[in-house]
Structures are given as structure tokens and as C-alpha cells.
Amino acid sequence: MGSSLPETGASRVEAVPPVQSDDTAHAERTTHAERTTHAERTEHATRDIRLFWCANAADSLGSQASGVVLPLMLLGLGYSPAVVGLVAGVSTATGLVLGPLVAVPADRGARKRVMFWSAVVSALAMGSVAVALAVVEGRPPLLHLLAAVLVERTATACYEAAARGTVALISTPGNLPRVVAGLEAGDRGALVAGPALGGMLYQASRALPFVLDAVSYVVTAVCVRAMRSDLRADLRADRTDRADGADRPDGVDPADRADRADRPDGADPAARPARRSVRGTWSALAAEATAGFRLVRSTPLLRLVLVWTTTVNGVLAALYYDAVFTLQESGHGGTPMGLVLALSGAAGLAGSLAAPRLVRGLSPVRAVVAVSWLMVPLAAALATAGGPWTYGALFGGFCLIMPLATVILQARAIQGTPPELQARAGSVLATAAGGAAAMAPALSGLLTAHAGAAVPALACAGVLVLLALHTTFGATRVLTTGVPERGRGA
């Protein structure tokens, strides 16, 4: 039975559902769309990180498998050690020279295309070597082998230059150590499994290691093709610039407005078609190619990374060849060096897997400084090492502690470098480290021949002492800073 009392106005208001304004409804729809877009981007980024890890591991595995048997194959075909050294030297020099040049189009928006087609070209080059070894009986033409190796090395240099800027585009800043550690673990795992797998395949057929390398490049190309993230850093920079301009009344930077006001006609020269001479074009290209070098030179953080990685790479290469010379002089064959490499690779893999957790719990400055000083006694102890197990244990110590500092420095370098300069700055760092690693064996050989097998290790220990001092005084000041503004040094 209903009440005879009339309803009050208050009860009517409460019974009617609240009406949302158009602005409120639009804001809720916008928020929901932003959440959905953010979730999709996070899902794509996680998937792309795994694909990038897979591409890197496959590339490293194939390269290690074919790289260890290439000198054996050339020597087995009757070519002299001088020819083998020429092939190795030319291929290394090609990668060092082309890296900074290819980084320019990668930073300008062609990153994914460069990575994909470089992997495809490398697959075709190694496939041609496999076909030549399987079909041609006896001794395949040296010109074909040399051309294939150079094409593969060139394409690999292009891929590596473009890939150096990918991490910053698929990872959040807080996830950088984990992504870098995953790439490091893939390299270390390939160092353990690749040479053994290549040797086993070579025993079955001299063409099989190169078949594996070609397949690994196919896997790399497929993984790169499947990545969904926008790898065009230049477009991201343009969008940021447009967003910055949208906050201004006329979309013009105040400094640009003042500069235009100072001109007699008040006109913007950018609005008029500019004529560029041939000399101006070459100057612009040179400025693009050297932007990474100028950025590294002007940024204390990147200079620290450059000095640290270059020194450590050169020292490790010198110590490794010193071990080769010492073991060879002692009458040991190739098996002991395989043991040293296996122990080093396993230790490096363990260090890479543990690095992300250690990075979260340790101070970056203390970790890098501690690793720098711990390497000194390891290098000095190599001066007294005599057997393969001792060398393996000491090199394993190096490879166990190094990933912690490497992950921290690489992650900070990526985080502190503008997206549109990632490939060029990374190429400068990689070229310096690769150049040091290429020159170190010759210096180690000279010291061993003229001063004895212990001298290179002691010299390397002295160099590491200087590096540790430099890191101790420099890390505290620069590890917490990055690049102040996008495009600095460009």
C-alpha cells in the first residue's frame, strides 16, 4: 500500500541518477583510452624485448659457431696463415669503419629496415659459403670466400650499429639494467655453446657451421620483423618538439621569435628554399656522422663509459693472447684454451644472470668502483699462472664480476643518451672498444717476445690500477648525471 504523503523535492532529486557533463564524459573516455593504449604499449614492449633477446642470442650463436671454424677451414683448404690473418684483419677493420657511418640512417628513422635487411644479406652471404663448400669439391675460390666474409661482416656491422639504439626505444628507464643483462647473457651463452657446436658440426661437414650461421641470421631477421615498437627515434623527437611548441601561443620558441625580430624583414629563412652547395652538403653529412663523437666528448658520463669499456676490452684481449702464448710455449695444445674459454663463458653467463638483482641492491658507484679494483689482483695473478685450470679460474673471475659493472655503465649510457643519437654514440663506444681489442694482441705479443710471458699480465695490472683510480674519482661525479638536453653535441 503506497503512502498518502506527497513526495518531497529532495527525494525526487535523489531518485534521479546524476547527469554527467560532456566534459566529464569526454575526460573519462580519454582516461580509459589512455589506459588501454598504455597497457597495449607495455605488452608490445615486453614482447619486443623477448624478440630482441632472441635475435641477439641467435646472431651471437651463429657467429661464434662459424667464427671459430673459419680459420680452421681456410687453413684446411691450404691457405697460409698470412691469408687467414688478412681475412680476419680486413673483416674487423670493415666493421670498425662502417659502424659510425651506418648509425646515421639508423638514428634518422631507418633502424628497423637496416636491421632486417642486414640480417637477410648476412644469411645469404653465409649460405653461399655453405653451398660452395658442399658443392665445390676440393678448394673453393678464395675470392668467393673472401667476398662472402666481407659482405657478412659489412652487413653485421650495419646490424650492430642500428641495434645499439633499439634498447632505449623498447625499454623503460627502470628496466634498462634487466634488458642489458639479458643481451649480455645471450652473448655469454653463445660464447659457451657456439664454439663447441661449431666444432662438432665441422667434424661432420665443413659446410654445416655456415649453414647454422645462415639459419641464425634468418631467425634474427624474423624476430626483428615481428617487433611492433616504433623504432624511429627521429619521429619521437619530432613529436616531442611539436608537443613543446603546442604549449606556446604561436607554436614558436621564444628564442626563435626574438631572433626573427632582429632581422630586417622579420622573415624566417627556413621558410625560404635554401640552396646548399656541394661543400655545404658534405659538411652537413660530416656533422651528422660525427654527432656521436661530439656527444661522447662533451658528456662526462659517456667519457667514463668510453674509458672504462675501451681499457677493459683491450686488457682482456691482451691477457687472453698472453695466455695463448704461454700455454703454447708450455706444450699445451688447443684443448686447454677451449677449457679456458668454456670456464670464462660459464662464469660470464652466471654473472650476467645475477647482474639485474645485484644492480637493484647495490649502489651503482660502489659496484663499478669495486669491480674496477677487483680486476687488478686477477690480472697480476695471471703473471704467475702456469696451467689451464689456473688460467680458466682467473679468467672466470674476470668474467664473473665484469657483467655487474658493464650492465650499470651501459644502462646509464643508454638512459643518458638522446634517442636520436643512440646508434651514433653507441658506435663511437663500440669502435673504441673494438679498436683496443684489435691492437692489444700485437702489443701482448711484442711484450712476450722481448720481455717474457709475465710482463704483459703485470703491465695490464698496472693499466687496471690507473683505470680503478680514474673510476674511483670520476664515478661519484658522473654516474648520477646524463645528457642535459636532447641533441647535445649534435
pLDDT in tens, the chain (490 residues): 444 433 444 433 344 444 455 555 555 555 544 444 545 556 767 889 999 999 999 999 998 888 878 877 877 777 776 777 777 777 777 777 777 777 888 778 788 888 999 999 999 999 999 998 888 766 778 888 888 988 998 888 888 888 887 888 888 888 888 899 999 888 888 888 888 888 888 888 888 999 999 999 999 999 999 998 877 755 444 433 433 343 344 444 333 443 344 444 444 444 444 455 656 666 767 777 788 889 999 999 999 999 999 999 999 988 888 887 777 676 655 567 677 777 888 898 899 989 988 988 888 899 999 999 999 999 999 988 877 888 889 999 999 999 999 999 998 888 888 888 888 888 888 888 888 888 888 888 888 888 888 899 999 999 999 999 999 988 877 876 544 444 444 4
Say which residues have a Cβ less than 8 Å from residue 181's Cβ, sequence separation at least 6: 352, 353, 355, 356, 359, 403, 407
Query: CB atoms < 10 A from the CB of 386, how many?
Result: 11
Are 489 and 291 contacting, i.e. CB atoms less than 8 angstroms apart? yes
**Cell numbers standing for residue 230:** 616504433
Cα–Cα distance list, 274 to 192, 277, 279, 312 (Å) = 56, 10, 14, 47
**Cell numbers standing for residue 42:** 607495455
Q: What values do phi and psi take at 363, rounded to 5?
A: -70, 130
Beta strands in 358-459 (DSSP E): none
**Cell numbers standing for residue 251:** 607554436
How would you label 408-446 residue by residue, b for 16+ Cβ within 10 Å and e otherwise?
Answer: bbbbbbbbbbbbbbbbbbbbbbbbbbbbbbbebbebbbe
Are 352 and 459 contacting, i.e. CB atoms less than 8 angstroms apart? no
Beta strands in 151-197 (DSSP E): none
Which H helix or E strand runs over 142?
helix 142-163
Which H helix or E strand runs over 8?
none
Query: CB atoms < 10 A from the CB of 255, how many?
Result: 8
CA dist., res. 287 & res. 359, Å (int): 36
Say which residues have a Cβ less than 8 Å from residue 425's Cβ, sequence separation at least 6: 292, 295, 296, 302, 413, 417
CA dist., res. 459 & res. 479, Å (int): 28
